[in-house]
Structure 1
């Protein structure tokens, strides 16, 4: 009888949602909750000034995200790999998954989109704008993105009235 410990299956968490819905905060909680976990916030790969959305910058950011996630998945130190990013189009998620060593690493994928009521989302973003953390045009963009998540086929987690810890528990 082989008494060697069974290999632990890795899990890749893809957590999307509009700006201001609480992805970064909830994923930091998730990172603390899950054993042997690592968090990549997609915004870290696009922290540019000026912020420019061009075909070239999109390709660079996606390449950086996929490269980092692939390295995390291949690293024996990590069992749970978390990506939080807007991911408002199915094509973005498909591209990420196509470029990752999912089968090679025997990784499961948990794809979740965080949503909130329009009132809650507007209030959160307006507080961030007031604190100088976001630009004023973020409110309308986030509200325009909100319905897109209901069409993706991901699991939806409503953050309305929930603490970051509660949201992380639902994602876990």
Structure 2
């Protein structure tokens, strides 16, 4: 998926259980000079008796994703971001507009039954309601229209090969 000497940022989003972590980890195995930024790992850094509000948490996580991405890109390291993306897709790319960076955005999706099955299999049934809500939001958020990719009935290796063969379609 790399573009020779060009720096690239790959933003992989989607609801819980859609395969973001599986796909991003496998993608890193096929690339040279790549950093994987997992938003959920940044969220795990919050400690203490009084956690930030959800809005504060999201803001802090995205500021850290932005800073880490910038630092890696400055060092000519490609970046893969694994996190749930909302309106960030509208402002995040502009921070890199002066650099020679290609930004790719893929919103993984699946049908409801597939998401429910995947979350049940991994013991995350408590995420089902939120995942289905996010699935609906992703499908109805106009900026996502051209970046949706259905993972229903596809194995990770198939998804990666397919994404690689048509990655330019996901360029922002």
- Normalising TM by the smaller chain, what interval? 0.7 to 0.9
Counterpart Cα distance in 2 of 1:36 and 1:102: 21
SS of 1:60's equivalent in the other structure is helix
Matched, 1:110 2:93: no
Give every structure 1 segment of 4 or more consecutive aligned residues whose post-TM-superposition deviation is greater than 3 Å: 48-53
Matched, 1:144 2:144: no
Q: Report the CA distance shift for 1:166/1:53 in structure 2 as closer, same or farther (over 3 A).
A: farther
Equivalences for 1:5-154 in 2 at 5 Å? Answer: 8-47=5-44, 48=46, 53-76=53-76, 78=77, 80-87=78-85, 89=86, 91-98=87-94, 100-104=95-99, 106-129=100-123, 134=124, 136-150=125-139, 151=141, 152-154=144-146
Larger Rg: 1
Counterpart Cα distance in 1 of 2:97 and 2:35: 16
User: 5+ unaligned residues in a row in structure 1: which ranges?
Assistant: 1-6
1:63: Cα distance to partner? 1.0
Matching residue of 1:4: none
Counterpart Cα distance in 2 of 1:18 and 1:49: 25
Task: Name the one with the larger helix percent.
Answer: 2
Cα root mean square deviation, aligned: 2.0
TM-score by length of 1: 0.80
